[in-house]
Structure 1
């Protein structure tokens, strides 16, 4: 859940630090005080788009930092693990910086991440619902996911079984399409593969051959110079009055010295060793000269062979192993194409079997979904009844997927939530509900039912009670309070019926100092809550009557929550 939120130089907020607890939190204040700005900041924490407009006038950058405390099984920890991020024993710190240039920086536990990575983690940290926002329950493509998770274990197990068959079906179908291409195209492909196979085979390549050829070519191309240099070196080492003879004379002189002074014995040994090495070097040079010859014919052969290998490298790979590997792939594909009729028959048979299994599993999956849908419809209508919408009908619409094959990775069903807020009205898509008050209560009902399924530990409602009053407002307040028993809830509200039910109450207000306007956040005590509720009840002027009314509301709210 969300534990702390720090904001600096964001819009009209200069600096705010808020500590949250479990349960139901409300934020109240006069219009324009900056309540919704806090939720704009929280939307950045979960991957919302940043803008230079968020930066407070005169500041270089806006900073938002949130600290979350996650349970072991929280989905955000799994997302972080997949992204290579450290969950720090369940503590997650998300930081966003928006510079005045518009540049945005995202960090999770101090590590810089992309906006996409932040969204992947953030979507399971907070669920922010505002009056006109389209969250997951308002996205038609998500309705099937909600229904399946509501259906629970047996349904999800059947869906997993279906998906395994579907993946194999896709692989077989793709392979079948590959080998049943246009016959003319296949014939052309066979000709090309046969040419490549024959060209590579005719070259009779061996690994390391190119390096050996390059070395031989270098030796043949420079044979005359090599012969001359070798002869000159041999003459210096073994010619008359040259290296070996000079060293030999030095040895005789040193031998005479050592007879009388053995301190130079090590020097004698070194010179003797040098003599043996010079002799050996001379013998090897002699053999080198005997073996080395200028052979224009062999040079031409080597150059031709190098050219053959270079041509193959330009076509099939940068090295001989890569060329040979390409040849193996050519052989494999050629074999498949030449025997495609047999393979096609095998694949067609397997595809038919998989299609039959898919239909069978999809039918079973659809049946389980319809059972879950009937229960969901009953649950939603009960929740809406509690929210003073007893005439509302809720339905789950099923439509089968069209086309061939009529299956997707999730089965054969297209699912959409439908709603009829008033008796006698037809069911309409949930996403098209126009009334803000109705939409607020429908969303709250669904959130209540799906709170366990969603696994998001913090729900945020930004003025979800707009357009609601009277008994409906009281029903919303009680429903949010009940929801907050298992889920952390943050709610911006203008309704005293909602505010009095909170466990934690923050007051948002503006103050002006030195011609600068700043937003402040204050945690209210019991007395402070009484004054704030009195203001919400009576407007600017707080009277003894509104104070008494506020105290009574808080007392009744406490009793209601205790009864829960």
Structure 2
């Protein structure tokens, strides 16, 4: 609830500080005294945009501060979501600087206007004759029914499941879109994969094939050179082996004389052994080396294939070709497995659809059961407010589509006159009737949910007599469970308040100022008497005022 309000340098208000109680508070004052200024200042606290014309003194900043007791409002989740510092006694402050800039604070932490508006909606509901269009909103009508049907928890579950359902549908659509594109590439990717698979790619084979091709393609020249080497090694008188054998024999005679001669001998002996091995290998190579045109053709074909594939795929090695083949294999497998993924996703959606249908039927059932009770309560209250023939026709049709709050289509029709046609509220009810309907709805809601502080701004305009008395009774009844303000011109309503405030203008140093004071019992008698009979109060007006207060 609103516990205090401070306004400095705003419109006609110089410096105002007022404390409020719970229960039913009345605000009265002559036309033009500044009640709208008070509401304007309060609206800034609730997130309304400000402008420089709001400043009383354009060289000083305007500061509006309100303190709220919110311990029973269950706002911890909202404070956490908006990153506010939560306090049971929460202070909201707005500042309008001479530069025109505006700042907002919640518990001394700066906040933006969107966040302030979200919080403000949960703290104060300012209701006037000109703000009854909310009543004609289908969303608000659902809120009324769901409040009475105690649907808050089940609706939260529904919204969570609906979010998951939409996410699954989005994932399915992405799979279908991917499949549509993948199918176009599938045949080509499959062709490329088969081409690479049939090539029997082996890491390092390119180098081996190129070496083998070089041998097979030059076999006659190789054989000729091997033959020359064979002759050089094995020439009978001057061959390398014969010469080394003679050298070895010569040095062998010196080896026993000195270690350095022995070293020479050993080195020549090692060379002889090595040359003997070379000779043996050359001999083997000559015997095994044969021309093989078929093998040459096979190697040539494989090399051409590998080079063509490397050029086609912009690869520089067979290893890169193998990597490309593996990636193509993944794409082809993914495309071929998409049907299974899509079927699995559809099964998930089917299961989620079943859950949502079950929840939405529960929501529909609870709404259907509460509608006759809501209709009866509203019609009873409106009859006491001078609308004895008021009737509602509230129809709920269970549909096919999943809507943000279930699957129901709601028609909220109204008829003010006996035998009259039912029509939409905004067409069937006048402004004054809409105000009374809204009062009736708020009074019903107050029995079921914790409403924020509500301020009725002259919703009793055009009402008098017993009807105004009944409106006052309804607001008084509401104030048992919530804080209620009524800005009124009617003494019958003013007399029912627990606390009474008066808005008035006064001239201070030739400057007009708006002020707000709390009236004591005697001051209330005078104020109500003036509301009954004007400034020239008669004895009967004073007596009547006392009677109303008692």
TM-score, normalization: structure 1?
0.68
Deviations 1:176-219 (A, max 9, x none): 2112228653346779999xx9xxxxxx9xxxxxxxxxxxxxxx
Which residue does the alignment assign to 1:550?
A: 545
Instruction: Give the structure with higher Rg (CA).
Output: 2
Q: Deviation of residue 494 (structure 1)?
A: 0.5
Q: Contact 2:414/2:429 (CA < 8 Å) preserved in 1?
A: no
Query: Contact 1:24–1:484 at 8 Å: present in 2 too?
Result: yes
Closer, same or farther in 2 for the Cα pair 1:513/1:48, shift >3 Å? same
CA gap 1:433/1:522 in 2 versus in 1, 3 angstroms: farther
2:125 alignment counterpart:
127
- What's the CA shift for 1:109? 0.5
Q: Is the 8 A contact 1:9 1:59 kept in 2?
A: no
Secondary structure of the 2:141 match is: helix
Match of residue 391 from structure 1:
389
Give SS of 2:459's match. coil
SS at match of 1:412: strand
The alignment partner of 1:549 has SS state of helix
Deviates more, 1:156-165 or 1:108-117: 156-165
The match for 1:460 is: 455
Instruction: For residue 486 of structure 2, give the secondary structure of its aligned residue in structure 1.
Output: strand
Q: CA RMSD in A?
A: 3.2
Distance 1:109 1:525 in 2: 32
User: How far apart in 1 are the matches of 2:344 and 2:175?
Assistant: 12
Q: Confirm whether residue 510 of structure 1 aligns to residue 505 of structure 2.
A: yes
User: Does structure 1 residue 418 correspond to structure 2 residue 417?
Assistant: no
CA distance in 1, matches of 2:531, 2:332: 81
> For 1:145-182, what per-residue CA distance to the aligned partner results, in whole angstroms no more than 9, with x for missing partners?
33112101xx4454455445433432332222112228
Structure 1 CA distance for aligned equivalents of residues 131 and 540 of structure 2: 38
Residue pair 2:58, 2:98 contacting (<8 A) in 1 also: no
Pick the aligned partner of 1:144 from 120, 138, 142: 142
Distance apart, 1:4 and its partner CA: 0.2
Q: CA 1:330–1:448 in structure 2 vs 1: closer, same or farther (change >3 Å)?
A: farther
Correspondence for 2:364: 366
Matches within 5 A, 1:461-480: 461-480=456-475
Trace 1:99-498 onto structure 2 (pairs within 5 A).
99-134=97-132, 137-152=135-150, 155-181=151-177, 185-187=181-183, 336-400=334-398, 406-432=401-427, 434-498=429-493
Q: CA deviation at 1:531?
A: 0.7
- After TM superposition, list the pairs within 5 Å mapping 1:47-58 onto structure 2: 47-58=47-58
Please give the secondary structure, in 2, of the residue aligned with 1:17.
strand
Gaps of 5+ in 2: 194-202, 204-325
Supply the distance in 2 between the matched residues of 1:5 and 1:36 (Cα, whole angstroms): 15
Matches of 2:27 and 2:405 in 1, distance apart? 41
> Which aligned pairs between 1:3-22 and structure 2 lie closer than 5 A?
3-22=3-22
State the aligned residue count: 421
Bigger CA drift: 392-401 or 495-504? 392-401
1:35 corresponding residue in structure 2: 35
Unaligned runs of 5+ in 1: 198-203, 205-327, 556-564
8 Å CA contact 2:371–2:394 kept in 1: the answer is yes
How much has 1:61 moved relative to structure 2? 2.8
The separation in 1 between residues aligned to 2:412 and 2:491, in whole angstroms, is: 32
Counterpart-to-counterpart distance in 1, 2:537 and 2:357: 68
Name 1:83's counterpart in structure 2: 82
2:183, 2:335 within 8 Å by CA — same for their partners in 1? Answer: no
Distance 2:63 2:439 in 1: 31
Q: Give CA-to-partner distance per residue, 1:311-357, whole Å, 9 cap, x none.
A: xxxxxxxxxxxxxxxxx999988764441111222233443444344
Distance 2:372 2:142 in 1: 14
Given that 1:2 and 1:69 are in contact with CA atoms closer than 8 Å, whether structure 2 keeps it comes out as yes
Separation (CA, whole Å) in 1 of partners of 2:388 and 2:138: 24
Give the alignment's TM-score, normalised by structure 2. Answer: 0.70
Which residue in the other structure is 2:517 paired with? 522
Secondary structure in structure 1 of the residue aligned to 2:489: coil
Q: Deviations over 1:436-484 (max 9, x none)?
A: 3212211111111112444234111111111211111111111111111
Asked whether the 8 Å contact 2:132–2:435 carries over to 1, the reply is no
1:288-310 superposed Cα distances (whole Å, 9 cap, x missing partner): xxxxxxxxxxxxxxxxxxxxxxx
Query: In structure 1, how many angstroms separate the alpha carbons of the residues matched to 2:340 and 2:331?
Result: 14
Q: Is the 8 A contact 1:75 1:455 kept in 2?
A: no
Is the 1:140–1:431 contact (alpha carbons within 8 Å) kept by the matching residues of 2?
no
